[in-house]
Amino acid sequence: MIYPYLHYCNMVWASTYPSRLEKLVVLQKIIRIISACKYRDHTSNYFNELRILKFPHIIFLQTGLFMYNIERKLLPSHLIKDFYQNNEIHYYCTSSSNNYHLESVLR
């Protein structure tokens, strides 16, 4: 019941401060009720048994899928144009020249 809500628009709202996401992580611990485990049991094993991703892993997966689609140019062009690599900004041969460039939000 909760799992689809954790996926919906995850890329947009899950990039906030970790302290704001703590309630969602705790809410996902409802798995204790589903699997009838004890209150003090670790939930990692139960997530693995039920094949459910934890919330931080959902964020990581969806970010990875989005960047894969950017890299392969599988998204609309108006989204792709906002992402460019460091080697498009400067032509120095560095170890991070193929990484995507992060714009500074503060100006």
In this prediction, residue 84 carries a pLDDT of 86
pLDDT at position 97 over 90: no
In this prediction, residue 25 carries a pLDDT of 84
Residue 50: which region, alpha, beta or left (left: phi > 0; alpha: psi -120 to 50)?
Answer: alpha
**Band of the pLDDT at 106, cuts 50, 70, 90?**
low
Cα–Cα distance between 18 and 47 in angstroms, integer? 21
Amino acid at 102: L
Query: Contact at 8 Å (CB) between 11 and 62?
Result: yes
**Band of the pLDDT at 105, cuts 50, 70, 90?**
low
> How crowded is residue 107: how many other Cβ atoms within 10 Å of its Cβ?
4
Average pLDDT of 11-16? 82
In this prediction, residue 107 carries a pLDDT of 54
In the chain, alpha helices (H): 3-7, 10-13, 18-28, 31-35, 44-49, 55-71, 77-80
